[in-house]
Amino acid sequence: MAIPKVAIVGIGHSKYGKRGKLINEDIEGEKATYPAVTIRELAHESYFPALEHAGITNNDIKASVIGIAAEAFAGQGAAAALIADEVGIIGKPTMRVETACATGSTAIRTAWAQIASGQFDVMAAIGVETMTWVSTAYATELMSVAGDHRWEYPYGISFPTFYSLYAARKMAVDGLTRDQLSAVSVKSHYYGYYNKLAHLRRKVSIEDANQAVPIALPLRLYDCCLISDGAATVILANEEKAKEMSSDPLWITGLGCSSDTMRVTDRPNLTNLGGSVRAAEMAYKQSGRSPKDIDVAYVHDCFSVAEVMAYEDLGFCERGQGGKWAEERGPYIDGPGVPVNVDGGLKSKGHPLGATGIGQVVDAYKQVFGTAEKERQVPDAKVALCHNVGQHGQFVNVFILEP
């Protein structure tokens, strides 16, 4: 089924990290300083570069969608109004969306739908979060509230616990090994090291990952994504405006969206995410693409086992072979498969909830147009896939993106 033509025409991305304090980085002699910021300044860091990249001003933005969970982390209600006010798009329609960790991609999907319907011709999708301003324990509890409030949360289950169940089940059913989980983390940190915007630019070894502090066994420290602050913005436009504004529009040729049961105990199995499978099938069908056509992919690796499951759910390898595929360098740029999370993923780049899905699309744009750092640039990348999951599969968005 042909879908209306909507393109990404502008991108902006802040530094991810603990942005409530001054950051001084020195990576192999390359020094960088990032000031302490609030949710307001983070929005600026991504929004105005996106406008500049698109070659437009606020006068061209007709409406905005803002992805954020600010009440919990920043203590700010009505955050969409705050961000719209701060970046100067007052008097124009704005709204907030929230679908847990898939909030950023839902913001893009919502903007896409309003443009595709003819309501607006140019829109901004802005994602921003300041998560490190609360303690790690409190941040973990805030995210755990997304578990079923009657049958899961009261019994102490957290997001690491949910994914430890998946990991343990895949070990029992598919033969997933500790070394294979660690192979995912090693790959993510390798590429994240070269991403100047990543939160944790540190290479790790299999031994580092295998011996790291236990979080929720079998998951250890390097299996778990970061709690991060950050922002990302994309400018979307309809076909007429995109061709007028940009010589390099990135078209959204396929969109998939699905969900799953709230309670994990109601799932038919714990070795894959049904929502990911269904969303991917929809996106592939709309775009006329298949897994073999994908040149670079961004998958939701909140935990190493989530990336392994995504390999299988998105069709990059056979069911049950995700761990082996990682171990055999399938997701590397020079590997035999599809390069995956060459930005470092949630594991190394970071995971500010509202920004994550938009940040994936920003990096996909860089890859397709050859502007990523050379150590992590995929040669001749033309077709990108972005996969963003909310909670532990209750919300899933998949995009296919092409120049």
Q: 55: domain CATH number? A: 3.40.47.10
Whole-angstrom distance, CA of residue 134 vs CA of residue 320: 38
Q: What is the mean pLDDT of residues 132-156?
A: 82
Q: If pLDDT is split at 50, 70 and 90, which confidence band does 323 have?
A: very high
In a domain, residue 366? The reply is yes
Residue 195 belongs to some domain of the structure: no
Mean pLDDT of 67-87: 86
With CA atoms as reference, report the closest residue to 338 among 362, 364, 357, 320.
364
The confidence score (pLDDT) of residue 139 equals 82
Q: Say if CB 126 and CB 249 are below 8 A apart.
A: no
208 found inside a domain = no
Residue 274: CA count within 13 A, CB half-sphere: 11
CA nearest 197: which of 299, 348, 301? 348
If you ran DSSP here, which 8-state letter would residue 78 be given?
Answer: S
Average pLDDT for 35-41: 93
Given a cut of 80, is residue 103 above it in pLDDT?
A: yes
Whether residue 67 is predicted with pLDDT greater than 90 in this model: the reply is no
Q: Give percent above pLDDT 90 in the chain.
A: 88
Note down the domain range covering 282: 6-135+224-402
20 domain-assigned = yes
Residue 158 lies in a domain: no
Average pLDDT, the chain: 95
Q: How far apart are CA 403 and CA 391, in angstroms?
A: 31
Which pLDDT score is estimated for 137?
84
Active-site residue numbers?
A: 101, 351
What pLDDT is stored for residue 315 in this prediction? 98
Whether 33 shows a pLDDT value over 90: the answer reads yes
Summarize pLDDT for 183-216 with one digit per residue, the tens: 999 999 999 999 999 999 999 999 999 999 999 9
Long-range contacts of 380-383 (CB under 8 A, 24+ apart): 380/295, 381/295, 381/296, 381/339, 382/295, 383/289, 383/293, 383/294, 383/295, 383/296
pLDDT value for 185: 98
Residue 237 lies in a domain: yes
Does residue 89 lie in a domain region? yes
Is 80 exceeded by the pLDDT of residue 334?
A: yes
Q: For residue 138, what pLDDT band results from cuts at 50, 70 and 90? A: confident
Contacts of 267 (CB under 8 A, 6+ apart): 260, 261, 274, 393
The answer to whether residue 70 scores a pLDDT higher than 70 is: no
Give the chain's largest Cα–Cα span: 57
> Tens digits of per-residue pLDDT, 369-399?
999 999 999 999 999 999 999 999 999 999 9
273 found inside a domain: yes
pLDDT tier at 143, thresholds 50, 70, 90: confident
Choose between 153 and 363: higher pLDDT: 363
pLDDT at 1: 59
Whether 401 and 252 have beta carbons less than 8 Å apart is answered as yes
> Token pair for residue 373?
């750092």
Q: Give the residue, 234 or 155, on which the prediction is more confident.
A: 234
**Number of domains comprising the chain:** 1
